[in-house]
C-alpha cells in the first residue's frame, strides 16, 4: 500500500462536530485508498464513533463533509450506501432468530435474490456450524462475525467498522483479523475500522491514523512506525547520577536518558556495552541488569495520546527530559 496515486475511497474534508462545548471531531482530513485496511486508532472519547457516524450520514457535521466512492454522504446518498457495508458498535442481530434466519432476513430486507451470496458469506465468516443457533446465544466473537456477515451480504466495496474487535478474546480477535485480511486481499474490499487498542490493529492495518481529542495527530504506515522506534540498551543500576557522570566523562557518551530512579537508556554505541559496563563498575555503580530493547508501538501510541492516567505525569515529564537529552 502507500501508493499516493491510488484511488481515494473515503475522504473527509474539514470534518467537524461539536456537542455543546465538546469538540468531538475537529477539522478531520482523512484519505482512505482502495483496497487498504485503515485503522482509526484513539483512546475512549477521541471521536472515532462520531466520525464513523458522520461517514454513514447518521450524524450531521457542523462543518466539512465526507465523500465515499466519490459520493457526498447525506441521508439520501443511496448510490454510495449500496456499495458500503457497516457495523456499528453493539450492532445487534435479532437474538431470538437463528444465525441463518438473521442472514436471510437481511437478504430479504435488501431485496436480494434468494440464494444470493448467503452461502459464500457463511463460509467466509466461519458461521456454518452456528446456523441453527439463536443469535442471542452466540459468543461475542461469533456475534461480531454474524454482524460482519450481514454487512457483507450486498457485496460492498467498502466496509466501515466501529471497534470490531472490542471485547473479544485473543482467539476472537485473530479470527476477525484473518477475516478482514482475506476480504481485503482476495476481494479488494477497502476496510476502515476503529479501535482503541493498538495491538489489535497493528498486525492488520496497512495504515493507522491516530485520533486524539477529535484531531488526527498522526498518520502512519506500519513499517514506517516500526522504523521510527529506536532500539536502546536499558540498564538498571544503583545510582543514576553517578552513572550519567561515568558515561559522559569516562566514555564520552551522551546519547542516553535517565528514565527512572534506577534506569538509564543508552541509544547508540551498543558495541561498546562492555566498556560502559566497566566504566560504571569502576565509578562504583552497581548494575543489576542490562538488556536490549525496542520501544513498542504501544509506547509510541501512549506517548502521542498522553498514556494512561498513572503514566500521564511521569511519562510526559520523562519524555520531555529524554528529548532534551537526545537533542
Footprint on this chain of ligand ATP (rule: CB under 6 A): 19, 22, 24, 42, 44-50, 196
DSSP summary character for residue 7? P
- 164 HSE (CA, 13 A, CB side): 33
Residues 6+ apart with CB under 8 A from 108: none
Cell 502521542: give the residue: 304
- Which CB atom, from 44 or from 288, has the smaller least distance to ligand ATP? 44
- Which CB atom, from 106 or from 195, has the smaller least distance to ligand ATP? 195
- State in angstroms the smallest separation of the CB of 100 from ligand ATP: 31
- State in angstroms the smallest separation of the CB of 16 from ligand ATP: 12
- State in angstroms the smallest separation of the CB of 48 from ligand ATP: 3
- Which CB atom, from 47 or from 307, has the smaller least distance to ligand ATP? 47
- State in angstroms the smallest separation of the CB of 235 from ligand ATP: 38
Supply angle C-alpha 295, 299, 304, rounded to 5: 125
- Which CB atom, from 63 or from 254, has the smaller least distance to ligand ATP? 63
57-91 b/e (C-beta count within 10 Å ≥ 16 → b): bebebeebebbbbebebeeebeebbeebbbbbeeb
Backbone Cα Rg of the chain: 25
Give dist(CA 268, CA 253) in Å, integer.
9
- CA-based torsion, 8, 3, 195, 29: positive or negative: negative
Alpha helices, DSSP H, located in 116-159: 118-124, 140-152
Torsion of CA 278, 292, 305, 57, to 10 degrees: 170
Contact 222, 51 (CB under 8 A): no
- State in angstroms the smallest separation of the CB of 188 from ligand ATP: 27
Give dist(CA 103, CA 79) in Å, integer.
23
- State in angstroms the smallest separation of the CB of 51 from ligand ATP: 7
Contact 141, 171 (CB under 8 A): yes
* 190 beta partners: 158
- Which CB atom, from 59 or from 296, has the smaller least distance to ligand ATP? 59
- Of the candidates 69, 51, 36, the residue with the CA atom closest to the CA atom of residue 201: 36
- State in angstroms the smallest separation of the CB of 11 from ligand ATP: 19
- Which CB atom, from 53 or from 145, has the smaller least distance to ligand ATP? 53
- Which CB atom, from 24 or from 69, has the smaller least distance to ligand ATP? 24
- State in angstroms the smallest separation of the CB of 166 from ligand ATP: 8
- Which CB atom, from 5 or from 44, has the smaller least distance to ligand ATP? 44
Amino acid at each position: 500500500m502507500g501508493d499516493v496515486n491510488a484511488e481515494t475511497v473515503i475522504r473527509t474534508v474539514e470534518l467537524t462536530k461539536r456537542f455543546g462545548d465538546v469538540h468531538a471531531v475537529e477539522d478531520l482530513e482523512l484519505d482512505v485508498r482502495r483496497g487498504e485496511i485503515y485503522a482509526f486508532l484513539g483512546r475512549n472519547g477521541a471521536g472515532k464513533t462520531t466520525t464513523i457516524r458522520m461517514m454513514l450520514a447518521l450524524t450531521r457535521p457542523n462543518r466539512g463533509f465526507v465523500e465515499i466512492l466519490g459520493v457526498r454522504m447525506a441521508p439520501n446518498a443511496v448510490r454510495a450506501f449500496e456499495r458500503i457495508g457497516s457495523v456499528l458498535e453493539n450492532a445487534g442481530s435479532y437474538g431470538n432468530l437463528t444465525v441463518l434466519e438473521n442472514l436471510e432476513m437481511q437478504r430479504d430486507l435488501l431485496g436480494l435474490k434468494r440464494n444470493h451470496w448467503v452461502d459464500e458469506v457463511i463460509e467466509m465468516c466461519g458461521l456454518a456450524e452456528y446456523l441453527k443457533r439463536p443469535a442471542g446465544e452466540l459468543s461475542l466473537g461469533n456475534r461480531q462475525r454474524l454482524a460482519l456477515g450481514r454487512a457483507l451480504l450486498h457485496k460492498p466495496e467498502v466496509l466501515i467498522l466501529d471497534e470490531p474487535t472490542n471485547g473479544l478474546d485473543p482467539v476472537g480477535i485473530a479470527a476477525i483479523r484473518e477475516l478482514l485480511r482475506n476480504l481485503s486481499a482476495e476481494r479488494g474490499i477497502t476496510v476502515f475500522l476503529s479501535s482503541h487498542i493498538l495491538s489489535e490493529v497493528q498486525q492488520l492495518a496497512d495504515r493507522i491514523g491516530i485520533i486524539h481529542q477529535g484531531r488526527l495527530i498522526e498518520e502512519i504506515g506500519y513499517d514506517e512506525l516500526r522504523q521510527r522506534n529506536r532500539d536502546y540498551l536499558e540498564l538498571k543500576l544503583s545510582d543514576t547520577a553517578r552513572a550519567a557522570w561515568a558515561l559522559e566523562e569516562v566514555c564520552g557518551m551522551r546519547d542516553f536518558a535517565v528514565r527512572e530512579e534506577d534506569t538509564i537508556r543508552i541509544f547508540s554505541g551498543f558495541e561498546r556495552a562492555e566498556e560502559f559496563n566497566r566504566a560504571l563498575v569502576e565509578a562504583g555503580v552497581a548494575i543489576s541488569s542490562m538488556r536490549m530493547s525496542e520501544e513498542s508501538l504501544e509506547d509510541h501510541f501512549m506517548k502521542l495520546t498522553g498514556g494512561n492516567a498513572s503514566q500521564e505525569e511521569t511519562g510526559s515529564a520523562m519524555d520531555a527530559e529524554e528529548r532534551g537529552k537526545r537533542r
